[in-house]
Structure 1
Amino acid sequence: MSRYTRPNRIVVGIRSHPLTAFFVCSYAVSWLLWVPVVVLGLPPFSAERHAPAFYVLPGIAVGVTGTAFALTAVTQGRAGVRRLLQRLVSWRVGAQWWLVAIVLLPGAAMLVAAALGTPDIVVAFAPASLTAYPAAYIVHFVFGPLFEETGWRGFALPRMQHRFGALRGTFLLGVLWSAWHFFLYVPVWFATGFVDGVTGLAIFVVTTTALTFAFTWLTNNTRASLLLAILMHGSVDGTVTYLQDLAERGVISHEAADQAIGLGQTIACVLLAAVLLVVTRGRLSYPRYAREAEELDLHPGASATGTGDQPLTGAR
């Protein structure tokens, strides 16, 4: 008898606590698949390609995307899976949001780096330099950009905004998204000493959490398009590869590349998050998302007046 009731209890538990189930499963699966990488001391990044090593990809694809689709199927059935797939190809948004996704964060990070004393970074904007950008973008694209967003912005964000509101939900998602990386990155950060480790960890959490506010704002203004979120993620990661490639070729200095990738990116993300919070009064355009897409994400296939808990009043 217990053989039949146990799976039912698991399904009921997942449906009752989908967010907890998502984060537990995504962490557990990703970290389990990364155990050989950490135990063997393999570098998570390829020094030649300036991108994640291919052996970390299963932890990302299965741990995050796989978990998102599996739990969507359990909690929302075929309608939910169909909606998630539709969001991956949702491209009919204003041209300004394409620019935000592709240009805003890399441009801001490089401008901050120039202001901090490495003006040669502007050479990265030159047409001759930009011919190298597509290849750098693609090299990094198949990792975090392509396989993380279905989980963080696809499964988690709608539920976190609905439960906690845009401000608190985004902050919590940013911290949890940051921490998911720790299993791979912490050994690297602390390899050169405790102070370096703590500094690297703190900068990463601040940058990633601040970046999460930009993702929420973009998602809320694009009818929850995962395609645009993927492109924004790709613009951040791809630019890291691009600048490192330019530095290796002597087009820009290594100092300029490091400045843009490090402090420039952190300052740009924090400043953008602060501006968005002030301009949107902490709502991050959640009212627009609630009108245009929230019902589709939380209750796919249901009527516009479908049942379910209502969003937090304060978030509107």
Structure 2
Amino acid sequence: MSREHGSRSLVAFFSLSFLIGWGALALLLVFADQLEPHFGPPSGGHPIFVLAVYSPAIAALVLVARRGGLAALGGYLRRLTLWRMPAAWWLFLLLGIPALKYLSAAFNGTAGEFPFSPWYGVLAALLPVLLLGPVEEIGWRGYALPLLQRRFTPLVASLILGALWGLWHLPAFLLGGTVQSQWSFGAFLIGALALSVLMTPMFNAARGSILIPALFHFQLNGPAWPDGQPWENYVFAAAAVVMVLWKRDAFLSRDGAVTDLMAPAR
């Protein structure tokens, strides 16, 4: 069934993601005064902002269900249960990302900062972070990356996806009350390209797992890490260059690239 999802499906996915995501944030920008009495001021937890964040997942699930119904959705979402990958990748996911975040904060002069007092306040912040950004990966890495890898090498697919992923965030930079409104979009776009490259070999090593990119995304947004903006974009870009040089055979060859939307047979 998944082979029925071709180039047109990829265009449909990006179109839906941008239409829902940008459309929701446009409503929030244009009708902020009218919406505020009902939903509060614009913020990362605003219901319409959450709808925008979920747009890639919504687009992917709609397209999978439209093609194959509930059975296809089940096969697609079973990729959330795939967790096996080489131990080195798990070390990078669990320890490497925090290390790069702290290195970025060191360049930024904020490595000693901890944004919660008392410390256990971080526990309450974990759930919202888990339920926002990581959900995007149901669409970005879950749907778009396998289809892109049918046509391009993992490196090119990563860069295309990273560029569109970064561009999709643009309205959040125009919306007061969001974290992105305090950042530089140009630096963020460099970071999006880098992070997309870093996620791809882990995704392929885990046989197309959606769980692994979601955990990667969760680590990036981890509330316990000190603020490393804008340095973290450049640090992750340097890490991506090293990764491509180290794993160049995997990045430049389509052998081993996951192209199926359904969970592999056990």
Letter in 1 for 2:238: L
Match of 2:65, SS state, is helix
Are residue 160 (structure 1) and residue 148 (structure 2) matched?
yes
1:236 to 217, 220, 234: 220
Matched with 1:185 is 173
Provide TM-score, normalisation by structure 1. Answer: 0.68
Amino acid at match of 2:210: L
| Identity rate, percent | 28
SS in 1 for 2:224: helix
- Of 279-288 and 17-26, more deviation after overlay is shown by 279-288
Shift of 1:132: 5.1
Q: Work out whether 1:144 is the aligned partner of 2:133.
A: yes
Bigger CA drift: 94-103 or 272-281?
94-103
Normalized per residue, which structure has more helix?
A: 1
User: Offset of 1:209 from its aligned partner?
Assistant: 1.2
Map 1:284-295 to 2 at 5 A. 284=251, 287=254, 289-290=256-257, 293-294=258-259
The amino acid of 2:63's aligned partner reads L
Superposition deviation, residue 60 in structure 1: 2.3
1:169 equivalenced with 2:163 (yes/no): no
Aligned residues of 1:105 and 1:268 also touching (Cα < 8 A): no
- Report deviation, 1:57: 0.9
Gaps of 5+ in 1: 1-12, 46-50, 190-195, 244-256, 304-316
| Superposed displacement of residue 264, structure 1 | 3.2
State the 1:122 CA deviation: 5.2
Rg (Cα) greater in structure = 1
CA distance in 2, matches of 1:153, 1:173: 9
Q: 1:122 to 1:103 in 2, by over 3 A?
A: farther
The alpha-carbon distance between structure 1 residues 185 and 301, as it changes in their structure 2 partners (threshold 3 A), is closer
Match of 1:219 among 167, 190, 203: 203
Q: Deviation of residue 233 (structure 1)?
A: 0.1
Deviation at 1:79, TM superposition (A): 5.1
Who is 2:26 aligned against? 35
Amino acid at match of 1:280: K
Shift of 1:138: 2.1
Unaligned segments of structure 2, at least 5 residues: none
Aligned partners of 1:65 and 1:150 also within 8 Å: yes
Asked if the contact 1:178–1:209 (Cα under 8 Å) also holds between the matched residues in 2, the reply is yes
Task: Give the distance between the partners of 1:53 and 1:121, measured in 2 at CA.
Answer: 29
**Which residue is 1:281 aligned to?**
248
* Offset of residue 142 of structure 1: 1.0
Shift of 1:200: 1.3
Bigger RCO of structures 1 and 2 (CA < 8 A, at least 6 apart):
2
Distance 1:81 1:286, change over 3 A: farther
Maintained 8 Å contact 2:154/2:254: no
CA distance in structure 1 between the aligned counterparts of 2:264 and 2:126, rounded to whole angstroms: 38
Aligned length: 250
Q: Structure 1 residues 85, 302: CA separation in 2 closer, same or farther (over 3 Å shift)?
A: closer
Q: CA RMSD in A?
A: 3.2
Structure 1 residue 269 displacement after superposition: 1.0
Q: 1:205 to 1:79 in 2, by over 3 A?
A: same
Shift in CA distance, 117/173, structure 1 to aligned 2, threshold 3 Å: closer
1:266 to 229, 233, 240: 233
Superposition TM-score, scaled by structure 2 size = 0.80
Q: Structure 2 vs 1, CA of residues 96 and 24 (structure 1 numbering), >3 Å: closer, same or farther? A: same
Amino acid of the residue matched to residue 170 of structure 1? Answer: S
Amino acid paired to 1:60: V
Stretch of structure 1 that moved more, 263-272 or 157-166: 263-272
Distance 1:181 1:94, change over 3 A: same
Deviations 1:176-234 (A, max 9, x none): 00111112323559xxxxxx99x812111111111111111210111111111111100
Tell me the SS of whatever aligns to 1:242.
coil
